[in-house]
Structures are given as C-alpha cells and as structure tokens.
Amino acid sequence: MSDNIKICPGFRFAGVHCGLKADLALDLALLLSDCPATAAAVFTENRFPAAPVVYGRRQLAAGEKIQAVLINSGNANACTGHQGIVDVATVAEVTAAALELPRAQVFISSTGVIGEPLPVTTILNGVELLTAELDEKRPEGESLARAARAIMTTDKTPKISGITVETGQGAITLTGIAKGAGMIHPNMATMLAYILTDAAVEAGIFKAMLKRVADKSFNRISVDGDMSTNDTVLALANGVSGCRLSDNADLEILENALLEMARDLAYMIVKDGEGATKVVEIAVSGAATPAAAEKICRAIANSALVKTAFFGQDANWGRIIAAVGYAGVELKPELVNISFDQVRVVSNGLRDPQYREAAGAAVLRKPEFSVKIDLQSGEDEFTILTSDLSHEYVSINADYRS
C-alpha cells in the first residue's frame, strides 16, 4: 500500500483467513468505527438481491447507525432464500456480541459464488480470529491492506484510496477500499466499496450525496455488461474529527472528496477487470439529451465486438459506429465524428479523408486511451470507463467455481 494513502482516524481494520477459500488467502474482513457512524448506501438493482443486500437495505431504511462492517469473500449468500437472511442475522448477532455492539449496528456484506449456503460456522470462527487480529494492533496501513485483500475474489490487486481535505471546520480524511473485477456493469457490479470519513454530516444529506456520487463514478464503469446480486457501496461518517459539516460550501467540499475517492476506486476496478489489458474512456458529446448520450456510451462500452477489437488493437471503427447506430437514439449519421484520442477517424459519418490505419492502431496499442463520439446534435454529454475483452476473461469465468 502506498505511503501517500491517508487512513481515516477513528476506524480500525482487520483481515483474516477463516477457510472460505480453499487456499490460505484472506477471506474475512472487518471495518470497525470507534463510535456509531452515520451510514449511507447504494445497492444493486438486480431483481435477485443477495441476502446481505436485503438485510442491509432494511437496516438503513430503519435509520440505523453502523459501527462495524463484516465482509466475507468466497460465498455470495445469494439465491439462498429465507435461510440466507437468517444466516446474515446470525452472523451479525455473533459479531455484535464479540465486539460488544448492538446487532443493528453491524453491517454484513458477502461476495463470491451464487447459490451456495453461507458457511456460517466457518465465518463465526473467523469472527474470533478477527477480534484477536484487532488485539494484535498491527500497523494501521498493514491492517487496512489486509482488509482490502480479504474482500477480493478474482481481483488481482487490492483497491485502496485515501485523501485529506480542508473544510471551513478543519481537516477531514476519507479512506476507501473496494473489490471488483468481473460482473462489472451499472448499476454497479460484482462490486463492494466502502468509503469512510471522520466528518460528521446529517444522514439525509449524506444519503443524497452518495447517490449523486455513485451515479458519476461506480455507475459509469463496465467490464462485461453483467450486473451482480451483491453490489454495495457503503459510506460511513463517524464524526471523530469534530468537523460537523452543514453549510453548502463544506458539504460541497465533502461531496467533491467523495467523488474523487469513488472515481479513483472505480478506475481501479476497471483497470483490474478480469483479463483486461486496456482501460478505455468512451466519451459521447453533442447529444440532444443526457439520456441519448448515455445510451450510446453504454452500447459501445458493452459491445463484445468493440471490446475484442480493443484487445486485438484493431482500429475497427466500423464496430463503434455500428454500436452508435443501434443504441436506439435519434441522430443524424451525416454529422457524427469519431476519434481515437486525438486521431480523427470518422468525419460527418464517413471515414475521415486524412485518417490512416496506422495512426489509429498506434492509439489502440496504448494501455489507456479514449474513444470520442461527437454527435453534433446538442449540448449534452456522457462518459463511461470500460475495458477490453481478452482470452483470459473467458478462462477466468469458465473455471470460476473450480
């Protein structure tokens, strides 16, 4: 973990191996606040929400503050029926007892294979290991890194971010961790993200703020066009800094900091996409409406043909213009321009007369580049981050449960 990452005061972290994964990889994480924290969350829109998502929605709808977050990898506890909800409650109750907290203040997340019963006994044994891990008082950077690794599934690297910003009330710190590499598609993904701050903020304001932030970050990424059953973004504000943010200027500072954190974590997810070798920004401008710009962005970002062309470093602009055309948006083909970075490929719906294939291919050989589509039909725009689709993606997902 980089020494430049700021770690939020008032939170402790732990990560252990409890046996959910066949190897000795860390698979159970704990995020613990020194005091009850104001909570805001955004969850999956999948119609088969996992048991911890159902449970967490109820918690936050009841206005509960959250002091502890327990996250397991290796098992999603999704499509497990009523027993799955019972299992979440059991894990929350035992975790609360171990930490001497009310059960309502323990938030549970899971990620992993869908349809398998949650190994409750294994996780409860892990809770004992976590409390012992807290007592060991590892360096906080090491503890944070262990928690970030424990929530990984097919991720290659942990995802951690942290910043300190100045408000009119003083300095506040935000720290975030996330996991996600596949089933990445808005709204959200097989993605868990936790953003912690030592600021104090009113719950309703915090909830609306997180929704706006998620819409501009986690909901603008796509690896494979699949939406998970377990997506969760949870933000906690425990107020230990003594900075209570209420005026518009300070709230704007907090929201901008949350957005910076969320975009940083979202970028890491796309960069670590299963088998990904490219990070590509799809930027649509000149649209008649925001919805039109978004539809075209998503059509391109989720096209298997476009994504395989990115992997093959094939400057096949025909696949991109086809996606623009089938996105279901009214447009004038004779006005559409397309560029790879600064290389104009299409002008007014036709191959640009100055375009040379070698120039386009040179852009696609880069690990990160942009595809820009100007519809010249209005003032609205939308951007999304996506990745390429490689042979390794197929291998990872063909063998995921083995």
Residues with a known catalytic role:
190
Number of neighbours of residue 212 by Cβ within 10 angstroms: 12
CA–CA distance, 284 with 260 (Å, rounded to integer)? 21
Closest CA to 188 of 226, 148, 147: 226
Q: Are 262 and 219 in contact (CB under 8 A)?
A: no
Handedness of CA 20, 214, 244, 175 (dihedral sign): positive
Q: How far is residue 17 from each of residues 110, 136, 386, measured CA to CA in Å?
A: 15, 15, 32
Exposed e or buried b per residue across 121-157, where buried means at least 16 C-beta atoms within 10 angstroms of its C-beta: ebbbebbebbbebbeeebeebebbbbbbbbbbbbbee
Is 63 exposed, middle or buried, given 0-12, 13-18 or 19+ CB atoms closer than 10 A? Answer: exposed
Number of neighbours of residue 61 by Cβ within 10 angstroms: 8
Q: E strand or H helix at 112, and its extent?
A: strand 106-113
Q: How far is residue 387 from each of residues 224, 269, 299, measured CA to CA in Å?
A: 8, 10, 13
Tokens (6 digits) for 215: 């819409």
CA–CA distance, 367 with 220 (Å, rounded to integer)? 19
Handedness of CA 226, 72, 154, 179 (dihedral sign): positive
Tokens (6 digits) for 176: 């975030």
Closest CA to 273 of 181, 353, 335: 181
